């Protein structure tokens, strides 16, 4: 009897975790380039223990591409990630909202440098101000028709090993499956929105709540049965 209660407890805890994931998706409905997480449970009990096995997958499907008309807003249509130089390590992201720092380098909102094939990308020609910037579909950057650099766009064969860090980016994995994308499709003046779908998340919220409720009912029934066992069955008349 006690063992069953333990199992139910782990199911309740798993539902709470799932709710955390949904809440995070909903909070990031408007975060540029955010990829939603989906939590699911293994039905088959693991040999090692009674705990419900939790699994988390990130959904890497394309988010909606919105027009912004800002020349430094870039969206990748299809596969690929921008490469940025973080404080400690390189990271990859789908968030294409860039700006220029006071030295003319292209940076993300969290002040990390965007990397091109030649390293950091400086948009100022000979210390001059940033002028007319054109970035074509292949990611080649031109300032006043003068070629500057080409964006580094990488992709992986398997996204499972990607680890999220804050600021809508992922740690660059040290695996061999990382490769440069030959023909990326870069859209200048566009941003990729978050791929969170409000309908899906609301349905998941309802599911979590009702499943939680039904498990709660089961615990109640167990409790009642045990109460009967203790107080009625064992009573002498």
Partner 1 sequence: MLRSLRTAALGMAAQQLNVDTISNNLANVNTTGYKKNTIEFQDLLYETIQTGSASSYETAGKPSEIQIGLGNKPIATFRSFSQGNIEDTGNSLDVAINGNGFFQISRSDGTYAYTRDGGLRINSDGYLVNSSGLHLFPEISLPAGIAAVNISQNGRISAIIEGQAEPEEIGQIELATFINPAGLRAMGGNLFEETEASGEPSYGLPGEEGFGTVMQGYLEKSNVDVVQEMINLIVAQRAYEINSKAVKTADELLSLTNQLKR
Q: Answer yes or no whether residue 226 interacts with partner 1 by CB under 8 A.
A: no
Q: What's the closest the beta carbon of residue 82 comes to partner 1, in angstroms?
A: 14
Minimum CB distance to partner 1 smaller for 55 or for 232? 55
Q: What's the closest the beta carbon of residue 22 comes to partner 1, in angstroms?
A: 7
Q: Answer yes or no whether residue 109 interacts with partner 1 by CB under 8 A.
A: yes
The residues, any chain, with a CB within 8 Å of residue 8's CB and separated by 6 or more, are 215, 218, 219, 222
143-168: b (≥16 Cβ within 10 Å) or e:
beeeebbbbbbbbbeebeebeeeebb
State the Rg of the chain over Cα: 25
Minimum CB distance to partner 1 smaller for 28 or for 90? 28
Q: Mask: binding to partner 1, 43-72, rule CB under 8 A, as x and -? A: ----------xxxx------------xx--
Q: Answer yes or no whether residue 19 interacts with partner 1 by CB under 8 A.
A: yes
Q: Answer yes or no whether residue 223 interacts with partner 1 by CB under 8 A.
A: yes
Distance, in Å, from the CA atom of 140 to the CA atom of 134, rounded to the nearest integer, reads 8
Considering only 82-90, 113-121, 178-186, 203-211, which stretch makes contact with partner 1 by CB under 8 A? 203-211
Strands (E), the chain: 37-42, 53-58, 65-67, 74-77, 81-85, 90-93, 98-100, 106-108, 113-116, 119-120, 133-135, 140-143, 146-150, 153-155, 164-165, 169-171, 179-180, 185-188, 190-192
C-beta separation of 112 from 86 below 8 A: yes
Q: What's the closest the beta carbon of residue 137 comes to partner 1, in angstroms?
A: 23
Q: Answer yes or no whether residue 103 interacts with partner 1 by CB under 8 A.
A: yes
Cross-strand bridge partners of residue 90: 85
Q: Answer yes or no whether residue 77 interacts with partner 1 by CB under 8 A.
A: no
Q: Answer yes or no whether residue 167 interacts with partner 1 by CB under 8 A.
A: yes
The residues, any chain, with a CB within 8 Å of residue 12's CB and separated by 6 or more, are 212, 215, 216
Q: Answer yes or no whether residue 195 interacts with partner 1 by CB under 8 A.
A: no
Residues that bind partner 1 (CB under 8 A): 12, 15-17, 19-24, 26-32, 34, 37, 39, 53-56, 69-70, 95, 97, 99-104, 109-110, 124, 128-131, 158, 160-161, 163-168, 198, 201-202, 205, 208-209, 212-213, 216, 219-220, 223
């Amino acid at each position: 009897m006690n063992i069953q209660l333990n199992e139910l407890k782990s199911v309740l805890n798993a539902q709470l975790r799932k709710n955390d994931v949904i809440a995070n998706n909903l909070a990031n409905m408007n975060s540029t380039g955010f990829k939603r997480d989906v939590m699911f449970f293994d039905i088959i009990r693991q040999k090692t223990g009674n705990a419900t096995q939790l699994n988390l997958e990130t959904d890497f499907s394309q988010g909606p591409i919105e027009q912004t008309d800002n020349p430094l807003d870039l969206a990748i249509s299809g596969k690929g990630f921008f490469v940025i130089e973080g404080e400690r390590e390189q990271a990859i992201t789908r968030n294409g909202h860039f700006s220029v720092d006071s030295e003319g380098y292209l940076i993300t909102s969290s002040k990390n440098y965007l990397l091109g094939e030649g390293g950091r990308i400086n948009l100022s020609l000979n210390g001059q101000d940033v002028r007319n910037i054109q970035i074509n579909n292949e990611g080649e950057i031109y300032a006043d028709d003068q070629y500057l650099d080409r964006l580094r766009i990488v992709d992986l064969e398997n996204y499972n090993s990607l680890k999220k860090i804050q600021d809508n980016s992922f740690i660059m994995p040290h695996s061999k499956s990382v490769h440069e994308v030959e023909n990326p499709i870069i859209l200048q003046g566009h941003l990729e929105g978050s791929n969170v779908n409000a309908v899906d998340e609301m349905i998941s919220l309802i599911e979590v709540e009702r499943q939680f409720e039904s498990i709660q009912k089961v615990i109640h029934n167990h409790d009642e049965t045990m109460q009967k066992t203790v107080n009625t069955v064992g009573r002498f008349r």
